[in-house]
Structure 1
Amino acid sequence: MFGGKVKYVPLRMDSKLDPKNNITSSRDWKLDIDELESKMSPKSRLLIINTPQNPTGKVFSMEELGKIAEVAKKHNLIVISDEVYEYLCYDKEKHVSIAKIPGMWERTIVVGSLGKLFGVTGWRIGWLIGDQSLISACLNFHTYTLFCSPSPLQEAGAIAFREAGSHDYYALTREQYLHRRNKLMSAFDAINMPYSIPQGAYYLLVNAEKLKIPEDYPFPDYILKRSKKKGFKLAYFFTKEIGITAIPAQEFYCEAHGEIAENYLRFSFCKTDKVLDMVSQRLKRTIQYM
């Protein structure tokens, strides 16, 4: 929204848990509804949520979505619901769209992604689902944000949708990602580095607080300039010394909330078994720093 002021409400790890020393679950990342309510004002217009969530893998429950929906209805908000990982839910977890909650269809825009669904993220093709009044407004805006549509890729996407059901694509893809998730978790189990078990998406959020970086380690200036962001040092060290690149979870938080995730790194398991086996071997290099 042009001229809009963004207010962030972060997910926080359950304070009763010890994520430095114990495996947790993406369910343990909690949204404080009272904090969300406190951010509302007469000027509030739009609420953005993401489930299954990146980077935690959290799949919001119906109960959690119901509470968010009550806030949205109370303050007459439009909701943008990023659901690009909707088909990647594990451990009997079920994705629920907030648009299905009574009173939410007419105020919700659901975002989907061909790239995430069919493993072609470079194609940059997605879609919006919602009430005609909302989608019509989005269409008017969209007309002026691009030069032309990638028609051949859209046609390929349409064929993929048409053929997916007959090949049991969604179930097979979920099984493959579950296998990869478990494989990566086992690799971190072997070095006793805890993580949050993701119930959705294809990321593993690892708590690397145990890693002891030498005090005189020669970080480059561009990393030192981010001195308040411990996660960048962890990610850089992992890349240079362990041979594995991860994303600092702090990048998914605003400056004010960055400390919540300063000890976490996000690893992606949308990789081949060969790559994941290599990761497992390289992770053993961390033992000397723990």
Structure 2
Amino acid sequence: MKFIVDQQVEDIEMPENLKLNTFLQEFHSDCPHKECGFGFYGFAFGQSPFPVPQIIQDTLIKNVHKGEYAAVSGIPELRNAISKYNKHYFGIDVIPNRIYVGPGTKELIFNLLEILHGTVILPTPAWLGYLPQIRFLKKNYHMLPTRANKKISPADLRKLALRLQDRQKILILNNPHNPTGLLYDKLELEEIADVCREQNITVISDEIYAQTCYDFSKFVSMGKIYPEGTFVTNGLSKSHAAGGYRLGYVIFPQHAIELKDQFKKILATEYTAVSTPIQHAAVAGFEISSEIDEYFEVTRNIHQIMGEYTYHELSAIEGVKATKPDATFYLLADFNAYSPELQKAKISTSQKLSEALIVHPYHTAIVGGDSLVLERTDFSARIAFVDYNGAAVYKNYLENKPKTSSERTQFVKDNAPKIVLGIKMIEQFFEDLKKNNLHELNAKKSSMITS
């Protein structure tokens, strides 16, 4: 029997990060060189390396026996905890019935795009997960390229919104931002909010990296600036290093009463409810405690140390520009100064640059610009600086906190040698490129990604 796949699914491409993951696994097992044994320098995957806070693990163990279905919108204890969490950390006074729990913010953003009518405005560069969802739902969308500072220009947003005929427009705002690591300040958000009010733009504000801000006092939620028109999404994945728990939440705007029943209907139809034991464990993660506060402080300080080192070392490579992160564990590296040399070496797209960097002897994994909704010929890449043993580094930080600039540099060299060596390999790649001495790409390996 021949099974026929729906054309809508046929039209969806495998996400670039999963393509790359498949390629890396196959390359690691097939590479004939003995030096391949260590694997690769992993700048591609955005996952916090730290252990899940012990208080969450312990609470999960205590609740593993709870096999009953939970309420569609989330157990009351969790919604109450999230309400208090947002008031304490973000200054958002939100009642629990404006909060819905889902299996990760990725799913909740998908659910929001399902129920909200209108054209989607997607600023670029962007997290690689937004565009496939928009396309899958067959939403009308327009890119909003950011300028040199890699942030949304209110003037450009207004100009684009005036061209769109829909009564409602939907802006996806990611703050702090993946892939640049940049943070919007209060004034920047207020200027964007002014345009949104004027042009009837609804905002989906993806704030999953909020707790990773190096200076947490600088974070401001769009839900506080534009409460009447913003859906705020957040969760456990990045702040609590619990991506595998698959738990996120969305805060609905003020007075969005007419949407609640529609949204609940979608959640009940698609996944009934989030795992009950996971929800109980999440309560411990969202409750205010000294243990969680210390965890946030230590992990964001380590992210900052790794980010500073990565930024300075990449920027020291001739021709390379990088965004200086204010949060997250990413930055955007711009290799476009080497465009003539890359073209000469028949590396014509950012995807081919990713392929060239992963093969022997460079062994370096990045996420190229086309995966970040940039032009395929834009030789920019997201660099994730998390390739280290998070549990060991956390412990070492507590035992001997680096204070001076030189101590912070030494901390990276001692605790994250693959970050140090990976940056050296990127430098070596471009040195070889300038000398027209690049090692030949293995056609077989290249085809693994592109097929």
Give the TM-score normalised by the residue count of structure 1.
Answer: 0.78
The one of 146, 151, 162 equivalent to 1:11 is 146
Unaligned runs of 5+ in 1: 14-27, 220-226
Verify: 1:119 aligned to 2:241, yes or no.
yes
Report the residue type matching 1:244 in the other structure. Answer: T
Between 193-202 and 86-95, the greater mean CA deviation after superposition: 86-95
Conservation of the 8 A alpha-carbon contact between 2:174 and 2:205: yes
User: Per-residue deviation at 1:169?
Assistant: 1.6
Structure 1 segment 1-290 matched on structure 2, within 5 A: 1=113, 4-13=139-148, 28-40=149-161, 41-45=164-168, 46-90=170-214, 94-101=218-225, 104-130=226-252, 131=254, 133=257, 134-162=259-287, 165-167=290-292, 168-189=294-315, 191-192=317-318, 193-211=320-338, 212-213=341-342, 215=344, 230-241=349-360, 242-253=362-373, 258=375, 262-272=378-388, 273-286=416-429, 287-290=431-434
When residues 111 and 135 of structure 1 are mapped into structure 2, their CA distance, relative to the original with a 3 A threshold, is farther
When residues 34 and 163 of structure 1 are mapped into structure 2, their CA distance, relative to the original with a 3 A threshold, is closer
Conservation of the 8 A alpha-carbon contact between 1:47 and 1:77: yes
Please give the alpha-carbon distance, in whole angstroms, between the structure 2 residues aligned to 1:32 and 1:49: 12
Please give the alpha-carbon distance, in whole angstroms, between the structure 2 residues aligned to 1:117 and 1:85: 6
User: Per-residue deviation at 1:55?
Assistant: 0.9
User: Per-residue deviation at 1:210?
Assistant: 4.4
User: Per-residue deviation at 1:213?
Assistant: 3.9
When residues 183 and 140 of structure 1 are mapped into structure 2, their CA distance, relative to the original with a 3 A threshold, is same
**Which digits, 9 at most, give the CA deviation of each residue in 1:114-162, with x for residues without a partner?**
1111112233221011336255543332222225522222222222333
When residues 209 and 93 of structure 1 are mapped into structure 2, their CA distance, relative to the original with a 3 A threshold, is farther
Conservation of the 8 A alpha-carbon contact between 2:180 and 2:325: yes
Please give the alpha-carbon distance, in whole angstroms, between the structure 2 residues aligned to 1:164 and 1:266: 34
**Which digits, 9 at most, give the CA deviation of each residue in 1:76-128, with x for residues without a partner?**
33211011111122367711111212xx2122110002111111223322101
When residues 163 and 148 of structure 1 are mapped into structure 2, their CA distance, relative to the original with a 3 A threshold, is same
Between 276-285 and 82-91, the greater mean CA deviation after superposition: 276-285
When residues 187 and 75 of structure 1 are mapped into structure 2, their CA distance, relative to the original with a 3 A threshold, is closer
What is the CA RMSD across the aligned residues, in angstroms?
2.7
When residues 137 and 75 of structure 1 are mapped into structure 2, their CA distance, relative to the original with a 3 A threshold, is farther
Q: Determine which structure has greater relative contact order: mean sequence separation of CA pairs < 8 Å that are 6+ residues apart, divided by chain length.
A: 2
Structure having the higher helix fraction is: 2
Report the residue type matching 1:232 in the other structure. Answer: Q
When residues 148 and 119 of structure 1 are mapped into structure 2, their CA distance, relative to the original with a 3 A threshold, is same
Report the residue type matching 1:9 in the other structure. Answer: L
**Which digits, 9 at most, give the CA deviation of each residue in 1:150-182, with x for residues without a partner?**
222222222233375335121111101111112
Identity of aligned residues (%): 23
Conservation of the 8 A alpha-carbon contact between 1:129 and 1:135: no
Between 39-48 and 173-182, the greater mean CA deviation after superposition: 39-48
Report the residue type matching 1:203 in the other structure. Answer: Y
Please give the alpha-carbon distance, in whole angstroms, between the structure 2 residues aligned to 1:70 and 1:191: 40
When residues 11 and 135 of structure 1 are mapped into structure 2, their CA distance, relative to the original with a 3 A threshold, is farther
Conservation of the 8 A alpha-carbon contact between 1:12 and 1:29: yes
Q: Which has the larger radius of gyration?
A: 2
Please give the alpha-carbon distance, in whole angstroms, between the structure 2 residues aligned to 1:194 and 1:77: 33
Give the TM-score normalised by the residue count of structure 2.
Answer: 0.52
When residues 36 and 125 of structure 1 are mapped into structure 2, their CA distance, relative to the original with a 3 A threshold, is same
Please give the alpha-carbon distance, in whole angstroms, between the structure 1 residues aligned to 2:426 and 2:207: 32
Conservation of the 8 A alpha-carbon contact between 1:183 and 1:276: no
Conservation of the 8 A alpha-carbon contact between 1:164 and 1:170: no
